[in-house]
Amino acid sequence: MLTTIIVKIYNDAINTAEGLATTDVLTGALNRRTMLEVLNKEHERVIRYKQQCSVVMIDLDNFKTINDTYGHASGDELLVQFVNLIQDSIRKNDSLFRLGGDEFMLVLPCLNIADAYAFVARLQKLVPQVVNYKSVELGMSFGVCEMQEDETLNELIHNADTALYQNKLARKARTQL
């Protein structure tokens, strides 16, 4: 009986350590280290099985305003709301990663770029409806890329980041008109 208890305590400790090593403590989203592991596996599938995989880099709009106006605890609450919404909206084989601050990445296996754009368009409409604080609606800018066999993961991440930056500039230009 004592051995069973010790084994259970040991297994619980391992599970806790694994959870801390793979997830963001605040939001529960997967972390950057885990993202690189998942991207490597998906890239292997793209090469070996000729499957498609899209990635979406996400940056939350108006997040700095919320932190500056209402405090970091409010910002943290919104990050958790955002992650919960995304987790409820993605498929079981999709993964959400928090890269830091208000930047996230989605990895969408077996999804081509057109379908990834359609999915993000639905999210973009949903996020401000569900994730807001007082009078500030949270929006999102995004960069979508489809993983290519002949590109490195650094190139993929760079391309998604560049697409995000272009989307953010275009969204700002539209709001200033």
Which pLDDT value is given to residue 177? Answer: 62
Say whether pLDDT at 5 is over 90. no
Evaluate whether residue 11 is within a structural domain.
no
State the residue range of the domain holding 135.
27-176
Point out which residues pair with 108 in neighbouring strands: 54
**CA-closest candidate to residue 147, choices 136, 156, 159, 158:** 156
> Domain holding 120: CATH number?
3.30.70.270
What phi and psi values does residue 102 have, to the nearest 5 degrees? -110, 30
DSSP, res 138 = P
Rounded to whole angstroms, the Cα distance separating 121 from 41 reads: 27
List CB contacts of 5: < 8 A, sequence separation 6 or more.
none
- Taking phi over 0 as left and psi of -120 to 50 as alpha, with beta for the rest, 101 belongs to left
Evaluate whether residue 132 is within a structural domain.
yes
pLDDT in tens, 19-77: 456 999 999 999 999 999 999 999 999 999 999 999 999 999 889 888 999 999 999 99
The more confident residue out of 90 and 17 is 90
Evaluate whether residue 16 is within a structural domain.
no
Coarse DSSP helix, strand, coil percentages of the chain, rounded to the nearest 5 percent: 60, 20, 20
- Residues belonging to the active site: 102
What phi and psi values does residue 50 have, to the nearest 5 degrees? 60, 35
Evaluate whether residue 69 is within a structural domain.
yes
pLDDT band at 129 (very low <50, low <70, confident <90, very high): confident
Evaluate whether residue 45 is within a structural domain.
yes
CB-count exposure of residue 135 (10 Å: 0-12, 13-18, 19+): exposed
Cβ 102 vs Cβ 111: under 8 Å? no
This prediction has a pTM of 0.88
Which pLDDT value is given to residue 10? Answer: 55
The structural domain count of the chain equals: 1
pLDDT in tens, 74-116: 999 999 999 999 999 999 999 999 999 999 999 999 999 999 9
Q: Please tell me the number of Cα atoms within 13 Å of 165 on its side-chain side.
A: 6
> What's the mean per-residue pLDDT of the chain?
90
Evaluate whether residue 21 is within a structural domain.
no
Evaluate whether residue 124 is within a structural domain.
yes
Evaluate whether residue 3 is within a structural domain.
no
